[in-house]
Structure 1
């Protein structure tokens, strides 16, 4: 069994037109490849929602702030195709090259204010402009009825939701729960770059987040909770905590306390690898201990 690989926009659009003529519903799963179980979970969700599924594989240069980071990003198309083929029939892998996505003279960009600011947007200037531009193109190229995005990249998910709403794109944006290793570390293509020791230490990031979330929900003072959470991450072997913040879930506005559905989001560096994660935080219980 093999997956059907499409390289050009014109060919994918021809496939989409055929599927539409058959009355098929179409879902798309945008990725940069190096597929792991988190990605495959998104594909399975797409298969449950649509008759035809397009998984995209494009390492988007416009969302990288570092040429070295772009060069180091894993490229594993052959193994990615095998993993997709194992999921069943009817899947297409759209794997264009840079010139196909950004032909000579390309000069248009999509920028999302508000949810794209702060957090990863502060540490990676222009990153979400690159994400928003390529995702807009992929949704339009695939003619998608639905698109799957993981909640691990929660700010990215909210950026995509906002652009789809603002631009009236006829695509349902579906957020899927973060897939984790048994020790809690969120699955990421970057995890393979960790040394054996750093990989063990990295599990301290989700441990600190879940512990802090429980304390916030119990009414503990947010400033102390965040400071102690950052200290725990650093004590575990991380070199730097880029941010650890409490934000409103819907619009990602900074919160002084979890008085509405919220997310605790973090980015931290270990073994020269930048890891991100987030966990939900329910509104604090009135009158809870520590309030």
Structure 2
């Protein structure tokens, strides 16, 4: 099944901007350079495991929301140190951190009010790093019920030793497609209260339908349950979800555009029809009705 994930473009390529400490300590999130598999990269990290009641925040820049997007996925890559690797700090050390979000109608710059954020999830590692045995975790959380022009994400440290390697924010969509001789636009997948979205298609060129076909877009970004079918108009046939002109119709169209219609009909078209359609010589009403329908379609 085809599906599409669309990532948000972040201004200047930067996601994380501001660190704030509410615990009364001076140590906050900081940018750290690390080496992994021979490559150097930068992370946001904090490791204040010996102090109680830590409350250190890291907030993103303003992320603009596409109007039809009501939920986004947040993919985190991170490292958490084993609390047992710190002598005497096991009672205060934590091995989790929290993800928060806040809807906003405008970019508030560096203004940061903790009370405007609501908790999305507690982030816990599947594997913890012990001494030099580095373990990278990947977790995806869902932020739902977005409704304003944009939003912020924030990460709260409560006393862990963490390195945040990457943050990817994206939404799911059903990609633009063609089915049943109808085209369907890219459609943002539904959120918490809409598991299926009904999408009406548009018949491709030279096709028609009394009742336009429709299809459903799932919350995972997949098309399912197509209903209805467009039909090619007279003189056209279905070729790979398109309607292509049949040879005889193409000949009619070319002749009509090239010659005076009466001369073309008398000297080219009718002799050709009598040569390829036996019923043309016998005057079969059905065959002549089909030919007349083709000509009327050209003249329309």
TM-score clears 0.5: no
Q: Write 1 or 2 for the structure with the bigger share of strand.
A: 2
Q: Shorter-chain TM-score: which interval?
A: under 0.3
TM-score w.r.t. length of structure 2? 0.18
Larger proportion of helix? 1
